[in-house]
Amino acid sequence: MNRRSFIGLVMFATMAPTLARWAQAVPPAALQRRTGGDVDLANLEEVTIAELQAAMEEGEFTAVELVNAYIERIEAIDQDGPRLNSILEINPDALDIAQALDEERRTSGARSPLHGIPILLKDNIDTADRMRTTAGSLALMNSTPARDAFIVQRLRDAGAVILGKTNMSEWANFRSTRSSSGWSGRGGQCKNPYILDRNPCGSSSGSGAATAANLTAGSIGTETDGSIVCPATANGVVGIKPTVGLLSRSGIIPISHNQDTPGPHARVVADAAAILGAMVGVDPEDPATAPSEGRAYTDYTQFLDPNGLQGARIGVARQSVTGYSEETDRLFEQAIQAMRDAGATIIDPADIPTINEITTGPTELTVLLYDFKHDLNAYLAARNDPDIRTLADLIAFNEENAEQELRWFGQELFLMAQEKGELTDPEYIEALETNHRLGRTEGIDAVLQAHQLDAIVAPTGSPAWTTDLVNGDHFLGASSSPAAIAGYPLISVPMGFAFGLPVNITFMGTAWSEPTLIRLAYAFEQATKVRRPPQFLPTLAE
């Protein structure tokens, strides 16, 4: 047994007593199903991880039966029927893994709340198995990673079943300035499960869409700026973008070591919190995780409190993060009132003073271009692909395979990044310092301290736009950038529907404030309970 596996098993052995407590922490009313409370494998809509775990503990079904049920649903909805196109491949070893976990449950009990639970991974997260990891690109189809990403090993140690890989915006939406979110050369266009001709947003498109469509218990996406929370709002699920450094990035195809982080998609906050805790840990191969020691929790479900908004001080961000969508603003006002009704003190407005500089300035893109070239070249060198070893190789591959890769949009960002120099360049150093100042001390932290806030809220984004491969995304607005450049956490939670399309609210805070944000987001979710499963409508009804 390797060191990671040993540490993981010890850690999750200590979590065993939380199984019963976690199930009790979720109010029964939130878990009631149309089948009367029992889990029906023929109808997995809106079933929670707590319900699945309880049913397996009671012997109602096995992990093998559960995995089979999800595979059948994927075949019926993703590969046939609506053809959601959210999943690139199913893990050919999933049933064998589930069978081994069933035997372990019988002989020694469950490792953690994720024991036997199927989880999907975004296609930029390495797995050392029979699946590929390609960032959605045809360029990496001829090689496989030598080992699991750190967070994948943590999930396996927790007893999760890695069910498959999800479609994504190719290269995490960092290839072109006019891309269509959810499109990849490997997988084609992912669809929105609520209205199929609407966009699922990106870059963790398949993670959000598959979770919303009940094709998995939960998924893992990644975010640099908006790539977890935008699919969360477009697909009506919970998305947690953690503090940069809470979760390791080793073994994840990168954009930026300053802004990248993995994080979960789930249908309820409790499930997202459970998945988040399973992935934490200091990774010597990712120095950014060192400060998480003493600040991370292996069990974030302990912060689930239905009364968590009582006495909380919530700041309302408006400037530059509202006003782009009447429907979004309408739902946001209702959400603010719901928090007041739940006992929160609302400070309105509580604008981020640097927001205009953040949204209109060049420094975020400057940092990302430098980081992308440096970080991707390092990843590719370690991957040892027979043909693709540098960003320059990727650019050449796309040009040589333009009919498949460049049919709908180009690679302008690749070309811009290729022109950048080293991370010692004064331009890069100054831009990074500016980002930290604008996002942290003069941005989010300034607002939190000035008003003594527990968190800031803002709309996550607009209702999903119609997918347009010819012209690219019709993006109206979002609120993720301040936290992105600061490296701070976000939680996006459903707040309502506009014309049948979901829209979310974002809770944001300072570094390592995940416990507070989970408490607030969970209380908001329990007070509103607006999520409903998608109906796979072909288009918006007139």
Question: Per residue in 212-245, pLDDT tens?
Answer: 999 999 999 999 999 999 999 999 999 999 999 9
Q: Is the pLDDT of residue 35 over 50?
A: no
Strand partners, 240: 491
Predicted pLDDT of residue 22: 40
Nearest to 499 by CA among 536, 541, 537: 541
Question: Per residue in 184-221, pLDDT tens?
Answer: 999 999 999 999 999 999 999 999 999 999 999 999 99
Predicted pLDDT of residue 4: 34
Predicted pLDDT of residue 305: 98
**Domain with residues 3-528, CATH architecture:** Alpha-Beta Complex (3.90)
- Distance CA(142)–CA(341), nearest Å, equals 56
From the centroid of its chain, how far is CA 526?
21
Rounded to whole angstroms, the maximal C-alpha distance in the chain is: 63
Q: Which contiguous run of DSSP H or E holds residue 219?
A: strand 218-223
Helix (H, G, I), strand (E, B) or coil at 163: strand
What phi and psi, each to the nearest 5 degrees, are found at residue 316? -105, 115
Predicted pLDDT of residue 31: 33
Residue 122 contacts residue 220 (beta carbons within 8 Å): yes
Predicted pLDDT of residue 29: 32
Tell me the three-class secondary structure of 460-513, residue by residue.
Answer: CECCCCECCCCCCCCCCCECCHHHHHHCCCEEEEEEEEECCEEEEEEEECCCCC
What contacts 520, CB < 8 A, 6 or more positions away? 308, 309, 312, 314, 454, 455, 507
Residue 177 contacts residue 413 (beta carbons within 8 Å): yes
What percent of the chain shows pLDDT beyond 90?
Answer: 92
Q: Is the pLDDT of residue 315 over 50?
A: yes
- Burial class for 295, CB neighbours closer than 10 Å (0-12, 13-18, 19+): middle
Question: Per residue in 246-278, pLDDT tens?
Answer: 999 999 999 999 999 999 999 999 999 999 999
By annotation, the residues acting in catalysis are 122, 203, 227
From the centroid of its chain, how far is CA 284?
23
Q: What are the C-alpha distances in Å from 211 to residues 48, 159, 163, 218, 353?
A: 11, 19, 12, 6, 35
Nearest to 169 by CA among 91, 225, 114, 102: 225
Give the pLDDT mean for 391-405. Answer: 98
- Distance CA(442)–CA(354), nearest Å, equals 7
Specify the higher pLDDT residue, 3 or 232: 232
- Distance CA(225)–CA(371), nearest Å, equals 14
What phi and psi, each to the nearest 5 degrees, are found at residue 273? -65, -40
Q: What is the mean pLDDT of the chain?
A: 94
Q: Which tokens is 38 given?
A: 């029992």
DSSP string, 88-105: EEE-TTHHHHHHHHHHHH
Predicted pLDDT of residue 541: 85
Q: What are the C-alpha distances in Å from 465 to residues 176, 192, 221, 233?
A: 18, 10, 21, 12
Give me the numbers of helices (H) and strands (E) for the chain, helices first please: 20, 13
Give the pLDDT mean for 141-156. Answer: 98
Predicted pLDDT of residue 38: 75
Give the pLDDT mean for 309-316. Answer: 99
Q: Which tokens is 511 given?
A: 């570094």
Q: Is the pLDDT of residue 45 over 50?
A: yes
Predicted pLDDT of residue 455: 99
Predicted pLDDT of residue 153: 98
Question: Per residue in 58-72, pLDDT tens?
Answer: 999 999 999 999 999
Residue with tokens 């996002």: 439
* pLDDT band, residue 5 (cuts 50/70/90): very low
Instruction: Say what the pTM is.
Output: 0.94
- Distance CA(15)–CA(113), nearest Å, equals 8
57: left (phi over 0), alpha (psi -120 to 50) or beta: alpha
Predicted pLDDT of residue 497: 98
Q: Is the pLDDT of residue 9 over 90?
A: no
Nearest to 302 by CA among 25, 14, 17: 25
Specify the higher pLDDT residue, 208 or 31: 208
Q: Which tokens is 84 given?
A: 């959601």
Question: Per residue in 469-506, pLDDT tens?
Answer: 999 999 999 999 999 999 999 999 999 999 999 999 99
> CA geometry: angle at 85 spanning 495 and 66, to 5°?
80
- Distance CA(256)–CA(224), nearest Å, equals 7
